[in-house]
């Protein structure tokens, strides 16, 4: 929907200024005004160099009768979050001629379902304040981050998501357009992270009524100057200068080769890829401003981009022959579409669409303006900087201007696609220049007023950390961030300087006294405009004349909270910087020589890249073009037969510097070098972080594979072991069954024999001690065969009545393999005698077999009461060995001893022989060195060791002193 005329709205603009034409007699010069207001720009150049300028008194704004309240007063907002006041500081008086940068916030709407529908982190509180809260932030995040999870920011005005493009334009840009037509400079820049709506705000969308502020600005300008077009006798040069157009006609058509319009051009080749101009033709803004009809106006357009810290002219390859010619000033007759040419390489354009198109561009230097451009500028006057060689083309209608911009936009897109197909990676600067002259003085060049409005679409300010860029993209992002960082630093320094000046004024000027401005200047910091191309190009707006407006675009849905907080803080900073809007009158300067002008055709530096340009979207055909570009040679592209050369990045020395003013030496080379170093280190850091991440990922994968292998091998090993164990246990089980059978048989036989001999009554409960005592007492004069022991490593089976015998292992583990075989045999002869065999075999697992053979019906043996024997063995051998031991354990020795009452020596000898045999049996073929035979009786143990040979070792019981060691000692 096209906008209706908004004259009343215009008058009621926030600037509250009537549309009063500025008298042509105004002679306020920037140099003069900058001195009068003590522009802090003076600190940005080697400006602190000695000046012969007369001392000017500085007015204390606080004392000034027409002192104004700062425009952006902060409204108190309820709630307790951090309150960031973005208004100008009240404690510092401000310069009356200056006004702070306006900052407008535009909140992007949520677009469709494709976008995340999380809770937006921006909540408008009023027209000027907004609360920003990070809903996703955890307490740990807030602890670690310096960013407060909830902050309130104030702006000059906040535009909600539903705001119409026309309303937005009227509030933010229309006052600047009026200023422009009245001879004042203005700057508007859109700042925000990627995908926040900057381009939409500046250029607009494709729907009806969605035209951005740039096309609307052109509409309003041409609507307003209808019938007031000048003859174009003069044209603008550099920043503020003008020159006779007739003298520069050759230069004006510099890029024209006179090629026929039937030749293929980039627009033709990529026509279906570029947005249609048809919709923009309908979507026009009909607002017209009321102007002084005594003036004539000519409008000039330039379109540059700053990419990777280099400035390029997006209209460099436009064929201007179709646009305008000073010799035929009938503007409305010209509606030809501007066409690109191949003039840069001086190569002929192809004759048909099937032939390649050559397109090239090169970086342009940024140079200081000669002070002669400004009337009355002094030797130390700061005349700003301009982009040398940037074309300024005259446009006669809004349609023509839009077509030109479309072409420039196409070039930006083509070259931008080389860099990044997703997002604008360059800062785009469109400058509209107005030359205004009074009808009565149209032949007097000194009466020409030059004013300009620059609209800047800044590149997204996202951080490399979040975008995971690398290589060329990282360099790009680094340069974007660098230029934005420098912009912030410039603002910070400007603010500090302005505060310093204001403090000096407040503290140093008493009523009627005067202050030496040079004293104040000396204390000001250098503003680092030179550290980035963007700030260099824009510096004139901050330190010269003109108003500045900042549009902060925020997408509260899918972009990072932290990044947007930085954007907000930047806006807060910008709003504390004041600019100096005044009116400028230019002066005519000599035209540069032809040779100087032609010197721009420098050689092309080869470079190679690939381009894929795609378009499409809802309701539009999706199409793609693939270009392969090799500069210096001509390559046929894959899809469209379009050939291009790539940007040439060499800068021309001295070009465009008419006065040979090359005094733009580094302000401080050390600072420059440090800046570069910081940037390099930042990039290196990021790259090394990326490398670390890759290495970590690789290592993790390797470790994972290794672990997997190990686990597999362990699984196999355990499977094997399990099988072995099963087999072994089967064998054990067989052995045990065997033993049980055997012991039952033997026990019966033994009991029978013993019982018949002794006929003694047995005791029901016998402990080892009692057995031993009884044995000692009954076998008078004999040593006990087995000494009872109550030590902890020996336990005895105890039987109680008909109860079960239990024997815990008395064996001190000596075997490394923890193989334990315990055999305990109790031969108890009592009335209720029991033969208890307790075998414990313990290797990895514990396998205890308690065999209790109860035979209450057995006759009591006549063996001395309480006699018991115990043999404990610990071995790592299979149980088959134990089986043999068992057969030995209830040795007939006992019977012989008891019955015949043989001497102790006999008994010992037999027993030792039996033990020896047992040990031989337990020779443990598998591991002969790792076997233990445990003999509870100490003496028997000692003897066994004495006769056991070299492999037998004495192991003292718990609490027992190792005599061998003692002896050694
Ligand atoms: N106010 C709005 N209303 C409707 N659509 C919008 C609005 N603002 C932005 N958009 C849409 O959001 C998308 C991203 O916007 P845009 O391209 O302008 O972002 P950007 O900030 O310029 O991104 P970049 O910095 O990457 O170029 C586009 O599809 C655009 O049409």
The pLDDT tens digits for 247-265 are 544 444 333 333 333 334 4
Which range, 145-149, 181-185, 406-410, 662-666, has the best average confidence (pLDDT)? 181-185
Which range, 100-104, 643-647, 866-870, has the best average confidence (pLDDT)? 100-104
Are the beta carbons of 1 and 204 closer than 8 angstroms? no
Domain with residues 99-110+118-133+148-245+283-317+359-504+517-579, CATH architecture: 3-Layer(aba) Sandwich (3.40)
pLDDT at residue 558 in the model: 67
The atom number, within ligand 1, closest to the CA of 163 reads 1
For residue 661, what are its two tokens? Answer: 């003013």
What's the CA-to-centroid distance between 195 and ligand 1, angstroms?
5
Concatenated DSSP letters of 758-786 = H-PPPPS-B-HHHHHHHHHHHSTT---SS
For residue 873, what are its two tokens? Answer: 């063995």
Q: Is 196 annotated as a binding residue?
A: yes
Q: How confident is the model at residue 730 (pLDDT cuts 50, 70, 90)?
A: very high
CB neighbours (10 Å) of residue 768? 25
- Cα 64 from chain centroid? 50
- The dihedral built from the CA positions of residue 237, 242, 245 and 246, taken in this order, carries a sign that is negative
pLDDT over threshold 90, residue 802: no
Query: Picking from 158-167, 455-464, 623-632, 804-813, which range would have the lowest pLDDT averaged per residue?
Result: 804-813
pLDDT over threshold 70, residue 829: no
Mean pLDDT value of segment 290-316: 87
pLDDT over threshold 60, residue 381: no
> 431-462 b/e with 16+ CB inside 10 Å = b?
bbbbbbbbeebbeebebbbbbbbbbbbbbbbb
What's the CA-to-centroid distance between 205 and ligand 1, angstroms?
8
**Which residue has better confidence, 189 or 207?**
189
What's the CA-to-centroid distance between 197 and ligand 1, angstroms?
3
pLDDT over threshold 70, residue 322: no
pLDDT over threshold 80, residue 152: yes
What's the CA-to-centroid distance between 199 and ligand 1, angstroms?
6
pLDDT in tens, 288-301: 898 888 888 999 99
d(CA 476, CA 484): 12
108, 165, 200: which to mutate for ligand 1, most atoms within 8 A of CB?
200
The atom number, within ligand 1, closest to the CA of 424 reads 27
**Which residue has better confidence, 618 or 642?**
618
Domain-by-domain residue ranges, the chain? 99-110+118-133+148-245+283-317+359-504+517-579, 673-730
> Across the strands, what pairs with 363?
312
Mean pLDDT value of segment 592-607: 45
pLDDT at residue 871 in the model: 40
935's CB contacts (< 8 A; 6+ apart) are: 871, 872, 915, 941, 944
Decide: helix, strand or coil at residue 672: helix
> Parallel, antiparallel, or unpaired: how do β-strands 129-133 and 150-154 relate?
antiparallel
Q: How confident is the model at residue 899 (pLDDT cuts 50, 70, 90)?
A: low
For residue 165, what are its two tokens? Answer: 């493009």
Are the beta carbons of 40 and 524 closer than 8 angstroms? yes
Mean pLDDT value of segment 493-512: 72
Mean pLDDT value of segment 284-289: 86
pLDDT at residue 251 in the model: 44
pLDDT over threshold 60, residue 166: yes
Nearest residue (by CA) to ligand 1, atom 9, is 197
**Which residue has better confidence, 431 or 752?**
431
pLDDT over threshold 50, residue 429: yes
**Which residue has better confidence, 154 or 906?**
154
Query: Picking from 425-429, 686-690, 848-852, which range would have the lowest pLDDT averaged per residue?
Result: 848-852
Nearest residue (by CA) to ligand 1, atom 2, is 108
pLDDT over threshold 90, residue 217: yes
pLDDT over threshold 50, residue 113: yes
Mean pLDDT value of segment 145-158: 75
Are the beta carbons of 552 and 574 closer than 8 angstroms? no
9's CB contacts (< 8 A; 6+ apart) are: 170, 174
Query: To which residue do tokens 């090239």 refer?
Result: 360
Q: What angle do CA 689, 694, 698 make, to 5 degrees?
A: 145
What's the CA-to-centroid distance between 68 and ligand 1, angstroms?
37
Q: Give the C-alpha distances (Å, rounded to integers) separating 832 from 219, 260, 800, 857.
A: 125, 132, 9, 8
Mean pLDDT value of segment 818-843: 40
**Which residue has better confidence, 625 or 504?**
504
Are the beta carbons of 90 and 142 closer than 8 angstroms? no
926's CB contacts (< 8 A; 6+ apart) are: 876, 877, 878
pLDDT at residue 874 in the model: 44
- Side by side, which strands form the sheet with 129-133? 82-84, 150-154, 129-133, 122-124
> Based on the number of CB atoms within 10 Å of its own CB, is 607 exposed (0-12), middle (13-18) or buried (19 or more)?
middle
Q: How confident is the model at residue 817 (pLDDT cuts 50, 70, 90)?
A: very low
> Parallel, antiparallel, or unpaired: how do β-strands 547-554 and 186-192 relate?
parallel
pLDDT at residue 28 in the model: 35
Query: Picking from 182-196, 553-567, 653-667, 715-729, which range would have the lowest pLDDT averaged per residue?
Result: 653-667
For residue 75, what are its two tokens? Answer: 């409204």
Q: Is 923 annotated as a binding residue?
A: no
Concatenated DSSP letters of 775-827 = HHHHSTT---SS-----TT----BB-TT---B----PPP--TT--EEEEEEEE
Closest by Cα among 265, 244, 269 to 255? 265
CB neighbours (10 Å) of residue 419? 18
Q: Is 659 annotated as a binding residue?
A: no
d(CA 546, CA 431): 13
pLDDT in tens, 453-470: 999 998 876 654 444 555
pLDDT at residue 786 in the model: 40
pLDDT at residue 242 in the model: 81
Q: Give the C-alpha distances (Å, rounded to integers) separating 222 from 226, 227, 516, 827.
A: 6, 9, 46, 127
Q: Is 199 annotated as a binding residue?
A: yes
pLDDT in tens, 641-668: 333 434 333 344 444 444 434 444 445 6
Are the beta carbons of 130 and 150 closer than 8 angstroms? no
pLDDT at residue 881 in the model: 54
Q: How confident is the model at residue 91 (pLDDT cuts 50, 70, 90)?
A: very low
- The dihedral built from the CA positions of residue 268, 272, 278 and 284, taken in this order, carries a sign that is negative
Are the beta carbons of 438 and 171 closer than 8 angstroms? no
Q: How confident is the model at residue 737 (pLDDT cuts 50, 70, 90)?
A: very high
Four-point Cα dihedral 409, 411, 416, 419, nearest 10: 180
Q: How confident is the model at residue 302 (pLDDT cuts 50, 70, 90)?
A: very high
Nearest residue (by CA) to ligand 1, atom 12, is 197
Closest by Cα among 940, 632, 955 to 784? 940
Q: Give the C-alpha distances (Å, rounded to integers) separating 527 from 24, 46, 190, 479, 799.
A: 34, 10, 22, 19, 103
Mean pLDDT value of segment 387-395: 88
Q: Does the ipTM surpass 0.95?
A: yes
Are the beta carbons of 447 and 438 closer than 8 angstroms? yes
**Which residue has better confidence, 524 or 593?**
524
Q: For residue 892, give the DSSP letter.
A: H
112, 195, 208, 458: which to mutate for ligand 1, most atoms within 8 A of CB?
195
For residue 133, what are its two tokens? Answer: 């809260």
> 51-86 b/e with 16+ CB inside 10 Å = b?
beeeebebbbbeeeeeeeebebebeebeeeeeebbb
Mean pLDDT value of segment 929-943: 70
What's the CA-to-centroid distance between 460 and ligand 1, angstroms?
11
pLDDT at residue 430 in the model: 93
d(CA 436, CA 547): 19
pLDDT at residue 264 in the model: 41
Q: How many residues does the chain have?
A: 969
Q: Is 193 annotated as a binding residue?
A: yes
> Across the strands, what pairs with 545?
580
Q: Is 479 annotated as a binding residue?
A: no
CB neighbours (10 Å) of residue 787? 17
pLDDT at residue 718 in the model: 95
Which range, 276-280, 382-386, 776-780, 964-968, has the best average confidence (pLDDT)? 382-386
Closest by Cα among 153, 759, 665, 640 to 368? 665
d(CA 441, CA 549): 33
**Which residue has better confidence, 334 or 885?**
885
Q: How confident is the model at residue 531 (pLDDT cuts 50, 70, 90)?
A: confident
- The dihedral built from the CA positions of residue 683, 685, 691 and 696, taken in this order, carries a sign that is negative
User: For the chain, what percent of residues have pLDDT higher than 70?
Assistant: 42
Q: What is the mean pLDDT of the chain?
A: 63
> Based on the number of CB atoms within 10 Å of its own CB, is 47 exposed (0-12), middle (13-18) or buried (19 or more)?
buried
**Which residue has better confidence, 716 or 922?**
716
What's the CA-to-centroid distance between 192 and ligand 1, angstroms?
11
Closest by Cα among 184, 459, 442, 415 to 295? 442
Which residues does a 6 A CB cutoff place in the pocket of ligand 1?
A: 108-109, 111, 192, 194-200, 205, 423-424, 459-460, 553
d(CA 799, CA 767): 8
Q: How confident is the model at residue 761 (pLDDT cuts 50, 70, 90)?
A: very low
pLDDT over threshold 50, residue 863: no
What's the CA-to-centroid distance between 284 and ligand 1, angstroms?
20
d(CA 295, CA 310): 37
- The dihedral built from the CA positions of residue 690, 692, 695 and 696, taken in this order, carries a sign that is negative
**Which residue has better confidence, 490 or 683?**
490
Q: Is 194 annotated as a binding residue?
A: yes
Q: Is 951 annotated as a binding residue?
A: no
108, 109, 197: which to mutate for ligand 1, most atoms within 8 A of CB?
197
- The dihedral built from the CA positions of residue 437, 442, 447 and 450, taken in this order, carries a sign that is positive
């Amino acid at each position: 929907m096209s906008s209706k005329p908004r004259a009343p709205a215009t008058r009621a603009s926030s600037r509250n200024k009537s549309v009063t034409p500025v008298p042509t007699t105004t002679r306020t010069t920037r140099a003069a005004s900058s001195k009068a207001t003590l522009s802090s720009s003076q600190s940005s150049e080697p400006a602190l160099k000695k000046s012969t300028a007369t001392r000017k008194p500085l007015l204390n704004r606080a004392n000034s009768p027409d002192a104004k309240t700062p425009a952006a007063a902060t409204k108190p907002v309820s709630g307790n979050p951090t309150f960031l006041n973005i208004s100008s500081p009240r404690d510092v008086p401000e310069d009356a001629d200056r006004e702070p940068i306006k900052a407008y916030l535009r909140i992007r709407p949520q677009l469709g379902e494709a976008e995340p529908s999380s809770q937006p982190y921006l909540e408008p509180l009023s027209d000027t304040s907004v609360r920003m809260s990070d809903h996703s932030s955890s307490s740990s995040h807030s602890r670690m981050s310096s960013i407060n999870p909830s902050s309130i920011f104030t702006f000059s005005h906040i535009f909600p998501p539903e705001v119409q493009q026309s309303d937005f334009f009227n509030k933010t840009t229309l006052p600047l357009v009026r200023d422009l037509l009245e001879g004042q400079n203005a700057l508007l820049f859109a700042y925000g992270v990627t995908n926040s709506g900057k381009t939409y705000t500046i250029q607009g969308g494709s729907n009806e009524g969605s035209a951005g502020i740039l096309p609307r600005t052109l509409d309003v300008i041409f609507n307003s100057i209808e019938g007031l077009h000048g003859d174009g006798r003069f044209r603008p040069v550099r920043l503020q200068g003008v020159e006779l157009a007739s003298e520069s006609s050759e230069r004006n058509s510099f890029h024209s080769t006179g090629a026929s319009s039937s030749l293929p051009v980039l627009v033709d080749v990529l026509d279906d890829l570029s947005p249609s101009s048809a919709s923009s033709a309908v979507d026009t803004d009909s607002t017209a401003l009321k102007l002084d009809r005594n003036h004539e106006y000519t409008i000039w357009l330039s379109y540059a981009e700053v990419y990777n810290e280099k400035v390029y002219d997006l209209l460099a390859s436009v064929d201007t022959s179709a646009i305008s010619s000073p010799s035929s000033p009938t503007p409305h007759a010209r509606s030809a579409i501007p066409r690109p040419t191949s003039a840069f390489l001086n190569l002929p354009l192809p004759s048909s669409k099937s032939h390649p198109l050559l397109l090239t561009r090169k970086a342009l230097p940024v140079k200081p303006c000669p002070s002669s451009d400004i009337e009355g500028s002094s030797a130390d006057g700061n005349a700003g900087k301009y982009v040398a060689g940037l074309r300024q083309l005259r446009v006669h209608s809004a349609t023509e201007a839009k077509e030109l911009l479309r072409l420039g936009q196409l070039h930006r897109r083509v070259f931008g696609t080389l860099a990044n197909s997703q997002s604008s990676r360059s800062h785009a600067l469109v400058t509209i220049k107005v030359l205004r002259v009074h009808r009565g003085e149209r032949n007097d060049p000194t009466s020409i007023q030059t004013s300009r409005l620059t609209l800047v679409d800044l590149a997204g300010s996202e951080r490399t950390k979040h975008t995971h860029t690398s290589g060329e993209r990282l360099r790009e992002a680094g340069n974007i961030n660098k230029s934005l960082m420098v912009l912030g630093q410039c603002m910070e320094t400007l603010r500090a300087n302005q505060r310093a000046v204001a403090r000096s004024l407040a503290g140093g000027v008493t009523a009627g006294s005067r202050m030496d401005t040079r004293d104040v200047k000396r204390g000001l910091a250098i503003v680092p405009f030179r550290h980035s191309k963007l700030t260099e190009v824009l510096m004139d707006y901050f330190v010269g004349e003109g108003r500045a407006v900042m549009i902060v675009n925020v997408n509260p849905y899918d972009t990072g909270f932290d990044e947007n907080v930085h954007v907000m803080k930047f806006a807060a900073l910008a709003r504390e910087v004041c600019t100096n809007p005044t009116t400028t009158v230019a002066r005519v300067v000599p035209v540069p020589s032809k040779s100087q002008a032609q010197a721009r055709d420098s050689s092309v530096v080869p470079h190679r890249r690939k381009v894929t340009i795609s378009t499409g979207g809802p309701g539009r055909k999706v199409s793609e073009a693939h270009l392969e570009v090799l500069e210096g040679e001509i390559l046929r592209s894959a899809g469209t037969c379009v050939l291009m050369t790539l940007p040439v990045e060499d800068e021309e020395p001295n070009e465009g510097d008419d006065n040979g003013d090359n005094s733009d030496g580094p302000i401080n080379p050390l600072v420059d070098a440090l800046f570069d170093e910081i940037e390099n280190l930042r990039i290196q850091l990021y790259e090394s972080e990326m490398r670390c991440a890759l290495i970590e990922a690789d290592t993790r994968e390797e470790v994972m594979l290794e672990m997997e292998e190990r686990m597999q091998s362990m699984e196999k090993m355990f499977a094997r072991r399990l099988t072995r164990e099963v087999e072994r246990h089967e064998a054990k089980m067989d052995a045990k069954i065997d033993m049980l059978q055997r012991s039952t048989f033997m026990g019966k036989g033994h009991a029978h024999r013993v019982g018949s001999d002794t006929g003694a009554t047995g005791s029901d409960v016998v402990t080892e001690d009692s057995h031993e005592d009884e044995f000692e007492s009954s076998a008078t004069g004999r040593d006990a065969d087995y000494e009872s022991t109550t030590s902890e490593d020996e336990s005895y089976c105890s039987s109680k009545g008909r109860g079960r015998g239990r024997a815990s292992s008395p064996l001190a583990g000596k075997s490394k393999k923890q193989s334990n075989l315990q055999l305990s045999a109790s031969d108890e002869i009592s009335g209720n005698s029991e033969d208890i065999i307790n075998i414990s075999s313990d290797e990895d697992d514990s396998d205890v077999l308690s065999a209790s053979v109860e035979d209450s019906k057995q006759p009591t043996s006549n063996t001395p009461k309480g006699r018991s024997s115990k043999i404990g063995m610990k071995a790592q051998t299979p149980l088959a060995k134990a089986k043999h031991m068992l057969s030995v354990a209830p040795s007939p020795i006992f019977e012989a001893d008891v019955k015949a009452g043989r001497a102790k020596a006999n008994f010992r000898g037999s027993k030792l022989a039996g033990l020896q045999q047992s040990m031989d049996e337990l020779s443990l073929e598998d591991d002969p060195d790792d076997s233990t035979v445990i003999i509870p009786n100490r003496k028997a143990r000692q003897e066994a060791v004495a006769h056991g040979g070299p492999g037998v070792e004495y192991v003292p019981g718990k609490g027992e002193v190792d005599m061998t060691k003692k002896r050694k000692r």
